[in-house]
């Protein structure tokens, strides 16, 4: 059931251009994941690289207080695996809290790292919180060595950002972070669906494994998106509890449309959320599927500004598709044709 609590959380139209026919078929085959098919169709194999290097994504990995040595070892392994994926994706990686004797407190380092990051642009900022979390009924916190950080405080630190931001909180009691941090052009992932799920969460282990694993690539476009990593990690969490014969004490959520509600993994079929939310609320997943830590060769050939515009059009196509039932057929296909033609022109520009 979708979490909406503050705390707990056809028939085809003929086209004159064969290209559009192919695009429409591709769209209905894979939903909103248009990118890879169009990239393959329109990009030449050896397009010259731009003279200026594109802006690099940043991945900030914050490791919290372990509490016990066995947790500390596991957290370090998860963080190291994620760091390797970030380096493979040519992202700038910042590790915070991996050593117990760092001279600057982890909270101060995290705040400074965020303050130093550009607030505008198209390059994604990923913030991954690994460790333990708490919830006192009013405020959720991420446990750091030294002073903890609350969801409210992190909200303030992230408020200036207008670039794409993803926050992945892999801790127990992490769900309230969705309500605090949800915003436009932002993806929030939590390991739990409520602040009351306080037991140790394993979601982080499986997420750090999945983000660099092409086995998690559900739409087979040669890259694993944030959405796909979320779905794979959630599946492996369930497999763990089922295998152990234990009651699940963590239920991940994903929010990427700014409504602060969150969508659970079992609402997805492939990469599309298929269940209807209470009150007709919009479902999540579209924006998260556009975040890639390790991009495919086809994606790497796209200049950042073209990729950003392509992503905007993909979201518009997805919204159009969701509203198809309320439109006349000719109106629907006319609007779809306009959007697909603009995508085609973008890929022509990228040649």
Interval 214-261: pLDDT, tens: 999 999 999 999 999 999 999 999 999 999 999 999 999 999 999 999
The reported pTM is: 0.83
Q: Which two tokens stand for residue 292?
A: 């890639």
Quick one: pLDDT at residue 189?
A: 98
Q: What is the dihedral of CA 252, 181, 221, 92, to 10 degrees?
A: -110
Tokens coding 343: 């995508």
Tokens 């801790």 appear where?
171
What are the tokens at 265? 């993994």
Which of helix, strand or coil describes residue 32? Answer: coil
Give the other-Cβ count within 10 Å of 71's Cβ: 15
Whether 117 and 58 have beta carbons less than 8 Å apart is answered as yes
pLDDT of residue 52: 59
Q: Show the low-confidence residues of the chain (pLDDT under 50).
A: 1, 4-51
The confidence score (pLDDT) of residue 14 equals 41
pLDDT of residue 158: 98
Q: How far from chain centre, in Å, is Cα 11?
A: 33
- Residue among 251, 62, 56, 231 at smallest CA distance from 144: 62
3-state secondary structure 115-143: HHCCCCCCCCEEEEEECCEEECCCCEEEC
Residue 282 confidence (pLDDT)? 75
Burial class (CB in 10 A: 0-12, 13-18, 19+), 324: middle
Are the C-beta atoms of 7 and 195 separated by less than 8 Å?
A: yes
């Amino acid at each position: 059931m979708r979490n909406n609590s503050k705390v707990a959380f056809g028939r085809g139209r003929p086209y004159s251009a064969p290209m559009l026919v192919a695009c429409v078929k591709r769209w209905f085959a894979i939903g909103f994941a248009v990118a890879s098919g169009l990239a393959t169709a329109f990009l030449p194999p050896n397009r010259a690289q731009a003279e200026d290097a594109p802006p690099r994504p940043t991945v900030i990995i914050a490791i919290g207080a372990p509490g016990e040595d066995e947790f500390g070892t596991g957290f370090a392994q998860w963080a190291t695996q994620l760091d390797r994926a970030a380096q493979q994706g040519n992202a700038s990686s910042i590790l915070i809290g991996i050593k117990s004797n760092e001279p600057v407190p982890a909270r101060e380092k995290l705040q400074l790292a965020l303050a130093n990051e550009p607030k505008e642009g198209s390059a994604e900022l990923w913030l991954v919180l690994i460790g333990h979390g708490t919830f006192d009924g009013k405020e959720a916190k991420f446990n750091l060595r030294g002073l903890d950080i609350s969801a409210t405080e992190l909200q303030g630190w992230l408020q200036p950002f207008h670039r794409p931001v993803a926050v992945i909180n892999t801790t127990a009691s992490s769900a309230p972070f969705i309500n605090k941090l949800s915003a436009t052009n932002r993806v929030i992932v939590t390991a739990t669906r409520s602040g009351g799920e306080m037991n140790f969460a394993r979601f982080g282990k499986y997420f750090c494994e999945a983000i660099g694993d092409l086995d998690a690539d559900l739409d087979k476009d040669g890259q694993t998106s944030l959405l796909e990593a979320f779905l794979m990690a959630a599946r492996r969490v369930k497999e763990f509890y089922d295998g152990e014969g234990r009651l699940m004490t963590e239920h991940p959520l994903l929010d990427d449309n700014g409504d602060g509600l969150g969508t659970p993994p079992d609402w997805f079929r492939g990469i599309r959320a298929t269940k209807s939310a209470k009150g007709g609320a919009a479902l999540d997943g579209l924006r998260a599927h556009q975040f890639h830590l390790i991009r495919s060769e086809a994606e790497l050939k796209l200049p950042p500004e073209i990729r950003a515009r392509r992503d905007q059009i993909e979201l518009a196509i997805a919204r159009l598709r969701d509203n198809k039932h309320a439109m006349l057929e000719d109106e629907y296909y006319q609007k779809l044709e306009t959007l697909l033609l603009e995508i085609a022109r973008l890929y022509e520009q990228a040649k």
